[in-house]
Amino acid sequence: MGLISYARNFEDVLLARALRHVDAGFYIDAGAGDPRRDSLTLAFYQRGWRGINVEPAPDLQQRLRQARPADVNLAVAVAAGDGDGLLYQLPGTLLSTRDAAQALQLSAAGHDVIQRQVALRTLDGICAEHAAPTIHFLRLDAAGAEADALAGLDLRRWRPWILLVRADADPSHRQADWRPDWQPGWQARVLAAGYTLAHADGRNRYYVAAEQAALADALRLPPSPRDDFTLCEDHPYAFPLTEWRARTAAAEAASEESRAWSLAHTREWKQKYELLEHAQRSAAQCEQQLGRQTERAQSAEQRAEQLDQARQAAAHAAEQLRQRADQAEATLHAVVHTLSWRITRPLRDGKLLAQRALRLARRVAGALQRRALRLATLPLRAAKATLLRAVRFVTARPALSYFVRRNVARFPLLVRLLRGVVLRMQAQPLPDAAHGVAASADLSQLPAAARQVFDDLLRSRRNAPHS
């Protein structure tokens, strides 16, 4: 997979070319800045490298800690000695400096400059505390204070293979008058420590340690297609995407607005279509109801015609009956006024009296017959009543009842007679005295079978309906 370059001036491409044989190296980035934008070490971090990121700006340091959890992130500024110092930062940018004169120039140019108090540490102290045994490259960007930062680094003790120092070519001259032979004042210190200048691109200077002199050849040529790299999104040398993002955002907003409009109108049209369908269904129902009403009206008209015909037929029949009644009345009047009707009147009256006398005789004979039957059955009913009282008397006394039942059981005819009497007794409640006797009777002296019989009689008497 090719390299993705994030550095502004392709520094990561040149370093990757020189150190392509190192799988997981170690770096020190003094002045690391943003963890992605113009980052010189992000491409190496993505390939498994680890190192130290030195950045005094608080907002940039917070981003570094979030994006580079595997690195050592230090919120300090490098200097010749440990202590405290002032940092001048332009908010919203990656620019910061420790030079007060440069900060005044930026403020005079209309930039907002924030002054912060930061801790100062030497690169010697940082390396002694956090560096790996082998430092493959050290990048130094101290915003004009590189000489002060290099004064705090013992290059004879700490030997990074490649030393990359930010050194804008003679900033006192205009870009058109840039001199390629210009040299920073601190270069003599680096060369004296056994480093050789391998490449200068007008923004950075690449120095190679004497013991790693073979790396210098890989740094002499500028980046080329053979390095197999691509620019990251929003790279300074890539096509600017801000305008296209704005256009895309505007197009998406317009599309979303159109979509919302279409959805709203779709819902409106759907509602109108549903209302239209409802109106059509209502109209169809009204037509059906109108058809049913029309059928009912036609049926009512037919029934009215039938009723009219029936009324006419009834009137005709009534007229015929009236005529027949008139004829019958005339005939009756003629019959009544005939001589034979007047002569036979006494015979008709006698027949009526004979019928009435016969009905009266029948009623008298029936009454006499019923009274005679009642007188004939009076002794039998008296005997039944006496027998019923005797049975009630016996059943009210458990000992006597047991004795009678045991002896009566020998005579089947007498058993049937007494059973009928008991049934009639169940239909007629016992007098209160009998109830009192049965309730107060002492059954403890009777056998178990007798008490069972007595309980059966009491239960049948309680369950029997009372008249």
pLDDT single digits (tens) 372-417 = 888 887 887 787 778 778 777 877 888 887 887 777 777 777 777 7
Selected residue with higher pLDDT from 127 and 369: 127
CA-to-CA distance for 440 and 430, rounded, in angstroms? 15
Same domain, 194 and 180: yes
In this structure, is residue 68 part of a structural domain?
yes
Same domain, 351 and 404: no
pLDDT of residue 28: 95
Burial of 13 (0-12, 13-18, 19+ CB in 10 A): buried
Report whether 193 contacts 156 (CB < 8 A): yes
pLDDT of residue 211: 93
In this structure, is residue 124 part of a structural domain?
yes
Same domain, 50 and 129: yes
CA-to-CA distance for 388 and 161, rounded, in angstroms? 141
Domain count, the chain: 4
Closest CA to 403 of 459, 464, 445, 462: 445
pLDDT single digits (tens) 15-33 = 999 999 998 999 999 998 8
Same domain, 279 and 221: no
**Mean pLDDT of the 286-301 span:** 88
Selected residue with higher pLDDT from 230 and 454: 230
In this structure, is residue 339 part of a structural domain?
no
Domain range for 457 is 381-463
In this structure, is residue 109 part of a structural domain?
yes
CATH number of the domain residue 65 falls in:
3.40.50.150
Residue 426 has pLDDT above 90, yes or no: no
In 146-158, which positions are buried (b, 16+ CB within 10 angstroms) versus exposed (e)? bebbbbbbebeeb
Residue 289 has pLDDT above 80, yes or no: yes
Same domain, 157 and 286: no
Token representation of residue 30: 């003094």
Strand duo 26-30 + 195-200: pairing: unpaired
Burial of 354 (0-12, 13-18, 19+ CB in 10 A): exposed
pLDDT of residue 164: 95
**Mean pLDDT of the 102-111 span:** 80
Same domain, 246 and 290: yes
Q: For 164-217, what is the HEC assignment?
A: EEECCCCCCCCHHHCCCCCCCCCHHHHHHCCEEEEEECCCEEEEEEHHHHHHHH
In this structure, is residue 272 part of a structural domain?
yes
Same domain, 315 and 182: no
Radius of gyration of the chain (CA): 68
CA-to-CA distance for 183 and 168, rounded, in angstroms? 10
In this structure, is residue 196 part of a structural domain?
yes
The angle subtended at Cα 152 by Cα 146 and Cα 154, nearest 5°, is 110
Same domain, 89 and 147: yes
Same domain, 155 and 190: yes
Same domain, 213 and 77: yes
pLDDT band of 336, cuts 50, 70, 90: confident
Report whether 196 contacts 213 (CB < 8 A): yes
The percentage of residues in the chain with a pLDDT greater than 70, rounded to a whole number, is: 90
Same domain, 371 and 393: no
CA-to-CA distance for 112 and 90, rounded, in angstroms? 6
Of 205-209, 266-270, 277-281, the one with minimum mean pLDDT is 266-270
Query: Which stretch of DSSP H or E encloses residue 136?
Result: none
pLDDT of residue 445: 64
Domain boundary among 233, 252, 280: 233
The predicted model scores a pTM of 0.53
Closest CA to 238 of 1, 444, 8: 8
Same domain, 196 and 130: yes
Angle at which helices 398-408 and 448-463 pack, to 10 degrees? 100
